[in-house]
Structure 1
Amino acid sequence: MSAGRLTTQQVAELLGVKVQTVYAYASRGLLSSERVPGGKGSTFDAAEVAALAAGQRRQLPRPGGGGAGGASGAGAEWPSSEPVTVRTELTLIEDGRLYYRGVDAVRFAERHRFEAAVGLLWGVGAEPGVRLVAAPELVAGLRRAGDTLPAGTRLPDRLRVAAAVAASLDPLRFDLRPENVRATGAALIAALVEALPGPWAEPSAEPGPSAEPGPSGEPVRSGESVGVGSGDSLAARLWTRLSAAPPPAGAVDCLDRALVLLADHELAVSTVAARVAASARAHPYAVVSAGLGASDGPLHGAASALAHRVLGEVLAAGDAVPVVSEYLRTGRPIPGLGHRLYPQGDPRAVALLAAVGRLPGAGPVLAAVEQLVRAAGGPRAPIAESANVDLALAAFAQLTGMAVEAGEVIFSVARTAGWLAHAMEEYQAAPLRMRARAVYTGPRPAGLG
């Protein structure tokens, strides 16, 4: 045995647990193990074991112990001496590309609707996908609640109200079995759309299912993959809540593509919030409410609204240079540019802007996007300074005459699918594990030295 390493049996004896419990700690990232070279079994870092033992002095429960959900009391917590490692089968970001369950999300979005992406993320498959419908009683209740809100209530705020009201109308919301979460989630996604004011226009009557290229040479995405026709898609219904005009050719398809590309993005801040809620066994509506709350800030879900405004300023001025100059003069960051996870450029933005470019009258908006990128980064702007998905959403909203809030609504409706997918994973993990370790920096209490 090398210095500083302990056998599984030694760890079990030091912690006062069974060998199976040691492996349970390792599976949750509380201990890191190494296989014994040329032999059987594993070894563990002695310092990690000592830290975990120190955490146990707080009388923490053992995995699987106690009552419902494995907790031994209302204040029970899991050991938190080590950061929690979140293992997920959902989303991978690697080499500048985004994958859902191993499938390239950009390529998937070219041929599948949002309903298929939901099915893929929720583990039921893109064929036939998930039908996103809400019961009439739920829709009626949400609309009654919506009618009580002030006329100027922001659309994102209506989504947060809708999630809370939908929870109050579901007495079985605490049933966390996967099949119930999927049914609840499908109704909730549809309900979020139905809770928005409207409709002002009839759903789009775009071409039906086809595997042949469309007029632009791009493939027409399959309606068969979701078990619904184009006019019944969630994107078609969402359009009527975001625009007072009938959709131009290809616009609903472009909106659908945006929903697919935004459905999940690994452990973004709102997804972490959703998983924390699920770790405490909060019901699906509360999980979505946690995600909506975390996405309300200007650095996440609401970032597209800032990008919408700056793009509008460029369009109004006819030149990005004075707009960028004013942002620099006042010390404001220029929204919609770059993404730290995509140093070579955001693939979601590339795909969405390509779809926007096929819509009627897209030239001036795309020119404004290019001007903004060039003015912000100079004549040879690096790819890392290129448009991100927030600016691509803003371009779509500007071109189609949607409100400043439209991008945030599209983001929230789409990401609800991802939040619930992560919740279903978290419900299968040990409860109350998502707890960060605090380092106290305040004044020391009297008598503690």
Structure 2
Amino acid sequence: MSDHPSGLPGEALPHRITTQEAARLLGVKPATVYAYVSRGQLGSRRDGAGRGSTFDAAEVEALARRSRREAAGPAAGELAVRTALTLIEDDRYFFRGVDAVELASRYAYEEVAEWLWTGTLPHGARFTAPPEPLAAARRAVAALPGHSGPLDRLRVAVAAAAVADPLRFDLSEEAVLGSARCLIPTLVGALPEAAPALPGDGRLAWGLWSRLSPQEPDPAALDVLDLALALLVDHDLAASTLAVRVAASARAHPYAVVSAGLGALEGPLHGAAGRLAHRMLAEVAERGGAAPVVAEHLRAGRRVPGFGHRLYRGEDPRARALFGRLEELPLAAPALGAAREVAAVMARHGLHPNVDLALAVLTLSSGMTAEAGETVFAVARTAGWIAHALEEYQERPLRMRPSGHYTGPRPPRPIP
């Protein structure tokens, strides 16, 4: 089948086309073309003679491709969930239609979270942890063994905060957002401090820094951490996000859906790549070169962490944004050099760096532990999980109930 709506392979489309031509390419009536314009799906411009509207041919063609994909539906056996939150397309990703990298580069994490939740950008948004849930979460985390990992602490903190919130079963949008704005800073505040907290500007990134790094927060490094949080807010239906939507489909309260996300994130195929990339870069720096480290990974049958992503043909846009900002930090130069060496080796395999490698550069250069990347990821993604839960609360309850395909012996069988 031709990829061109005109049906003529390789036919070059003019820059501007008429309403009738746009309708023909889209397979709709002219009135529907104007409906697309009113909904913001298509741009239009009056022609020079004032006789009617003209349309960008490439934009019309892109809309036609999207319409065909939506009409075709998911492939057989593939689960598809309608969402208005994140679109990943052409090696870019968008939050509610806005370029996510540009949004995260201009706004703080809390503001990006609000955009994802409400579609508005309140300037200077800040989240505050209420005293009672924070105290409960801190007591619960303090009772854990000293060797507990960051996700262990976050899971316990969520459970403790839930018990301290009698309104957690109210699933109205207002109540859920109120819980979210309290839960995220509670998770950060419940983590043990790596260094005494200094007075800051109230951003979540400032409070998180003192839990992750013993170093005094450099303003530029703090901005990179804030950027990382904002970039990681959501990324379509990752495994943890799907777990969240299943829990929300059963009408679990927001604390429970976050717990479901953290449970899936614990899996080594989802949340552990940042830790592995951190250790790999540390080893490259210690051994003075990337080649032997990469060779050992491949010889042992292990994937080289921090490379490749199934949703991007080229470089992960989140990694590109973080690397660009990390290049401005003098302290990041050694870790960046190690990352570039590994990237040069992996380029021979056609693999590009992903966000886990960029996070590893940030954590290694900031004196953070290897597990710090998991903490950043989990705290950031909590906002996205809440956004997906809000969407799922508006859907039919328990709709995510697939039927099992039984492959065991046919009954009846005698009782053993």
Q: Please, what TM-score do these two structures have when normalized by structure 2?
A: 0.79
Which residue type is aligned with residue 262 of structure 2?
L
Could you tell me how far 1:203 is from its partner in structure 2?
3.9
For residues 150 and 310 of structure 1, the distance between their equivalents in structure 2, rounded to whole angstroms, comes to 27
User: Within 5 A, what are the aligned runs for 1:247-262?
Assistant: 247-262=217-232
Summarize the Cα distance change of 1:392–1:175 in structure 2 as closer, same or farther, 3 Å threshold.
same
Change in Cα spacing, 1:436 to 1:307, as seen in structure 2 (3 Å) is farther
- 8 Å CA contact 2:127–2:181 kept in 1: the answer is yes
CA offset at residue 154 of structure 1? 1.3
Instruction: Tell me if 1:140 matches 2:106.
Output: no
The one-letter amino acid paired with 2:379 is V
* Aligned pairs for 1:112-127 within 5 A: 112-127=107-122
Cα distance, 1:293 vs structure 2: 0.4
What residue number does 1:374 align with?
344
Q: Of the candidates 357, 364, 369, which is equivalent to residue 391 of structure 1?
A: 357
Distance in 2, Cα, partners of 1:124 & 1:275 = 20
Gap change, CA 1:199 and 1:345, over 3 Å in 2: closer
Would you say the 8 A contact 1:337–1:388 is kept in 2?
Answer: yes
Task: Give the counterpart of 2:369 among 399, 403, 422.
Answer: 403
What are the residue-to-residue correspondences of 1:20-419 with 2, within 5 Å?
85-128=80-123, 130-198=125-193, 200-203=195-198, 231-378=201-348, 382=350, 385-419=351-385
1:82, distance to aligned residue in structure 2 (A): 8.3
Give the counterpart letter for 1:155 in structure 2. P
The answer (yes or no) to whether the contact 1:122–1:421 under 8 Å persists in 2 is yes
Counterpart Cα distance in 2 of 1:109 and 1:322: 36
1:411-430 alignment runs, 5 A limit: 411-430=377-396
Cα 1:102–1:332 shift into 2, 3 Å: same
* Distance of aligned partners of 1:83 and 1:93 in 2 relative to their CA distance in 1, 3 Å threshold: closer
Unaligned stretches of 5+ in structure 2?
1-27, 30-75
How many percent of aligned residue pairs carry the same amino acid? 54
How far is 1:296 from its partner? 0.7
- Deviation track 1:152-197 (CA, whole Å, cap 9, x = no partner) reads 2112210010011111111221100000000001110010001100
Residue 340 of structure 1 deviates from its aligned partner by: 1.0
Deviations 1:285-325 (A, max 9, x none): 00000000001112212211111111111111110000111
Give distance in 1, aligned partners of 2:199 and 2:387.
28
Is the alpha carbon distance of 1:315 and 1:98 closer, same or farther for their aligned partners in structure 2, counting shifts above 3 Å? same
2-structure distance, mates of 1:157, 1:82: 34
Q: Tell me how far apart the structure 2 counterparts of residues 350 and 243 of structure 1 sit (CA, whole Å).
A: 23
The one-letter code matched in structure 2 to 1:296 is E
Residues 310, 178 of structure 1: alpha-carbon distance in 2 compared, 3 angstrom cutoff: same
Shift of the alpha carbon at 1:416?
0.2
- Whether 2:415 is the aligned partner of 1:445: answer no
CA distance in 2, matches of 1:149, 1:435: 35
Give the TM-score of the pair, scaled to structure 1. 0.73
Alignment partners' CA distance in 2, 1:121 and 1:414: 12
Question: Partner amino acid for 1:371?
Answer: E
8 Å contact from structure 2 (residues 133, 160) kept in 1: no
- Residue 92 of structure 1: SS of its match in structure 2? strand
Of Structure 1 and Structure 2, the greater helix share is in: 2
1:404-428 CA-to-partner distances (Å, cap 9, x unmatched) read 1100000000000000000000000
Question: Is the Cα–Cα contact under 8 Å of residues 130 and 186 in structure 1 kept in the other structure?
Answer: no
Cα deviation, residue 249, structure 1: 3.7
Match of 1:16 in 2: none
Q: Which amino acid aligns with 2:89?
A: E
Could you tell me how far 1:126 is from its partner in structure 2? 1.4
What is the CA-CA distance between 1:114 and the residue it aligns to?
0.2
Looking at structure 2, the residues matched to 105 and 393 of structure 1 have their Cα atoms a distance apart, in angstroms, of 17
SS at match of 1:122: helix
Q: Which runs of 5 or more structure 1 residues have no equivalent in the other structure?
A: 1-36, 39-80, 206-230
Alpha-carbon separation, structure 2, partners of 1:364 and 1:440: 54
CA contact (8 A) 1:303 1:336 kept: yes
The superposition leaves residues 92-120 of structure 1 with CA deviations (integer Å, 9 ceiling, x where unpaired) of 00011010001101011111000111110
2 CA distance for matches of 1:86 and 1:427? 13
Following superposition, the deviation at residue 444 of structure 1 comes to: 1.5
Question: 1:279, CA displacement in angstroms?
Answer: 0.1
1:252 CA displacement: 0.8
Report the residue type matching 1:103 in the other structure.
Answer: V
Q: Any conservation in 2 of the 1:84–1:433 contact (CA below 8 Å)?
A: no
